[in-house]
Structure 1
Amino acid sequence: MKKPKPKLALKEKEGVSPPEIISASVVENIQQFRKVQPSAKELVEGILEGNITALSRAITLVESTNSEHLAKANEVINACLPFANKSVRIGITGVPGVGKSTFIEAFGKYLTGLGKKVAVLAVDPSSTISHGSILGDKTRMEELVKDENAYIRPSASGETLGGVARKTRETITLCEAAGFDTIIIETVGVGQSETAVHSMVDFFLLLKISGAGDELQGIKRGIMEMADAIVINKADGDNIKKAKLAKTEFNRALHLFPAKKSGWMPTVSTCSSYTKEGIDEVWKTISDYLELTQNNHYFAEKRSSQSQYWMLETINEQLKNNFFNHPEIQHLLEENKKAVQNNKVSPFAAASILLEKYFKG
């Protein structure tokens, strides 16, 4: 004999069926819109009008590895160049866990509060195994992403130097043409990315935290020499005392380094991205730096040398791509890899063979 089903306290009454959450017509319109590929002229017009969709599409085009997109991307960039170079470019680095995204959100909100238009170019590290990236900066910066005067563009680092996206330099140009007067570039913070970012920004900010071990571990000559300012983040609660101690130690260390060509003496300050304490001081430091370097002409000289550097880097990258995509080289490369692995030829001799073959055509 079957047991009677227990009576439920809650039950749903029949009524009007809820409407579809997603409109089929809206979906179709979006799909049709995405199929339409705007011309380079249309993208440029949209960018100059401050259209975020056009800007995002142009950046996607610039980041594309499809050789067919290269000519169109270059056309967009060249058309935007006369309207670029009117922003302040700020590089922000620090080890994972230092609170870069939280700091950038607090700093970005402060700047938009001053009437600035802020573009954040956040480079996420790509997995060397799956080649994927999380691209979670928009999630971490949930307040800034809703700000109409802010634009956040996460990009995968790919296989580029230290995690700096291959086309970050061109992306800066597009954002400037779209009217963003403050460009923030967040590095991966895991190695050589600092070198590449330093070569494309006006001001380089190093984020540190206290209480993570011996402060002397953070005093590394290379990164310290590149930094225009050091900010001890997470200076709140029980960590305030440790942050002040770290500030004193970093200040002492900075005096051991040679003077910068800019004539600027790097500063050390503390801040809390959580309480927003000290965020205004960071912007004051950057403003003081800009005033000094613009008056002594170092700002313009640095921008000029950076452009030359990126021209040479682009040539190097294009030569490398042409070499590895050459059909004959690809075949010969596999043969020489096996020969090197079996100790039949030295790595240097194998490289000479490949290069000789490439340059002979």
Structure 2
Amino acid sequence: MDKHKAFKTALHEKDGIDQPESVSRTAIEHVTQLRKKQPSADELVARILKGDKTALSRAITLVESTNPAHLEKANDVIAQCLPHADKSVRIGITGVPGVGKSTFIEAFGKHLTSLGRKVAVLAVDPSSSLSHGSILGDKTRMEELVKDANAYIRPSASGETLGGVARKTREAIILCEACGFDTIVIETVGVGQSETAVHSMVDFFLLLQIAGAGDELQGIKRGIMEMADLIVINKADGDNIKSARLAKTEFNRALHLFPAKSSGWQPTVTTCSAISHEGIAEVWQTINKYFELVKGNEFFGLRRSEQNSYWLTETINEQLLGRFYHDPAIAGLLEQSKKAVQDNAVSPFAAAKVLLEKYFRL
């Protein structure tokens, strides 16, 4: 008999205890059933008017949906919320990537909630032009503000919208106002494109900038400078304080070269540190001075009326485009026209004329 075969080693595995499942199947089924049960438009509105953030998130998701079946329900929710909206101040915040928008908004938002205000942040994240995906990481970056009971953060993908404003941001503002938020902050992508979209839906336009990044006046386009009601030089702390003060002086000189605003407001420049919260209170004080002025001279109401008119035409344009591209009769002809244009068999203008004529004959 082989001595090695007869020897029984102590290094052998014994039968253990089966590990329990990490997630309860009962809980999974319960959550699945809740998600399948979609509340009606009336139920959503009733909960939104009571300040229910979950219902607010559901309604915004419904509004942002590209599913045609959701359009009617979304419109119903918006229509019912509209009489309860228009009772907030809307602040747009933009700036080049790396300027510290998320950090500033968190510090700014915490300051406002400490004053008893209810703050909704509609943060627009850039979408990939290749995968069309978006990180939507603002809730992670604003980890303190997201836990605040008087704050709500909603990240949305920018999609293909110019200037980084989500297609349905306008409707999201209405829903947030109906939910009781009195201060709406819209954070844009800030990639140097036209910011006309966000400017057309806010009452106050704040431009964040940093010092020490080269020629300060080359750091931002004139068009955005002209739209800004306040320029804030962020990261004015540590060794950067001196350069921030210098940038403030240069921007102040530049602002005086621009035409006077129809609001009667003279834009100003200030510095702050979102990390240490230095200058955050002063930013809010400046914004309050602006609102005192424009509400006193009736520019505030006039501006809101102009915005409503602008968004009427934008909505018409959007729905016309949507119906055109989703029309079954156009879809096949569109692909044929693309192929013909690529092969230089027909000009893009002639192909477009044929497509539009067919669409309007339908």
Q: TM-score by structure 2 length? A: 0.93
Q: Count the aligned residue pairs.
A: 353
Aligned match of 2:96: 95
Measure the CA separation in 2 of the matches of 1:332 and 1:26: 49
> Contact (CA 8 Å) 1:162, 1:194: kept in 2 or not?
yes
Residues 231-271 of structure 1: per-residue CA shift (max 9 Å, x gap): 00000000000000000000000000000000000010000
After superposition, the Cα gap between the structure-2 partners of 1:162 and 1:219, relative to the gap in structure 1 and judged at 3 Å, is: closer
Are 2:216 and 1:212 aligned? no
Measure the CA separation in 2 of the matches of 1:100 and 1:348: 42
Q: Secondary structure at the match of 1:276?
A: coil
Offset of residue 298 of structure 1: 0.4
Q: Secondary structure at the match of 1:151?
A: strand
> Contact (CA 8 Å) 2:170, 2:201: kept in 1 or not?
yes
Residues 102-144 of structure 1: per-residue CA shift (max 9 Å, x gap): 0000000000000010000001111111111000000000000
> Contact (CA 8 Å) 1:44, 1:79: kept in 2 or not?
yes
Aligned match of 1:196: 197
Rg larger in structure:
2
Aligned match of 1:242: 243
Aligned match of 2:314: 313
**Aligned Cα RMSD in Å?**
2.1
Are 2:176 and 1:164 aligned? no
Aligned ranges for residues 288-299 of structure 1 at < 5 Å? 288-299=289-300
Aligned ranges for residues 93-242 of structure 1 at < 5 Å? 93-192=94-193, 194-242=195-243
Residues 7-51 of structure 1: per-residue CA shift (max 9 Å, x gap): 9xxxxxx9x999876444443332221111100000000000001
After superposition, the Cα gap between the structure-2 partners of 1:110 and 1:360, relative to the gap in structure 1 and judged at 3 Å, is: same
> Contact (CA 8 Å) 1:187, 1:193: kept in 2 or not?
no
Are 2:342 and 1:341 aligned? yes
Aligned match of 1:43: 44
> Contact (CA 8 Å) 1:90, 1:203: kept in 2 or not?
yes
Q: Secondary structure at the match of 1:123?
A: strand
Structure 2: runs of 5+ lacking an equivalent:
none
> Contact (CA 8 Å) 1:164, 1:193: kept in 2 or not?
no
Residues 255-296 of structure 1: per-residue CA shift (max 9 Å, x gap): 000000000000100000000000001000110000000000
Aligned match of 1:11: none
Measure the CA separation in 1 of the matches of 2:352 and 2:56: 41
Residues 55-82 of structure 1: per-residue CA shift (max 9 Å, x gap): 1111110000011111101111010011
Measure the CA separation in 2 of the matches of 1:20 and 1:247: 59
Measure the CA separation in 2 of the matches of 1:247 and 1:26: 56
Measure the CA separation in 2 of the matches of 1:151 and 1:193: 27
Aligned match of 2:330: 329
> Contact (CA 8 Å) 2:192, 2:221: kept in 1 or not?
no
Q: Secondary structure at the match of 1:239?
A: helix
After superposition, the Cα gap between the structure-2 partners of 1:288 and 1:346, relative to the gap in structure 1 and judged at 3 Å, is: same
> Contact (CA 8 Å) 1:219, 1:253: kept in 2 or not?
no
After superposition, the Cα gap between the structure-2 partners of 1:153 and 1:193, relative to the gap in structure 1 and judged at 3 Å, is: farther
Aligned match of 1:280: 281
Structure 1: runs of 5+ lacking an equivalent:
8-13
Offset of residue 193 of structure 1: 5.5
Measure the CA separation in 2 of the matches of 1:202 and 1:140: 25
Measure the CA separation in 2 of the matches of 1:57 and 1:44: 11
Aligned match of 1:10: none
Residues 143-195 of structure 1: per-residue CA shift (max 9 Å, x gap): 00000100000011112233211110000000000000000000011143521
Measure the CA separation in 1 of the matches of 2:210 and 2:108: 17
Q: Please, which moves more after superposition, 165-174 or 324-333?
A: 324-333
Q: Secondary structure at the match of 1:89?
A: strand
Q: Please, which moves more after superposition, 262-271 or 192-201?
A: 192-201
Q: Please, which moves more after superposition, 338-347 or 35-44?
A: 338-347
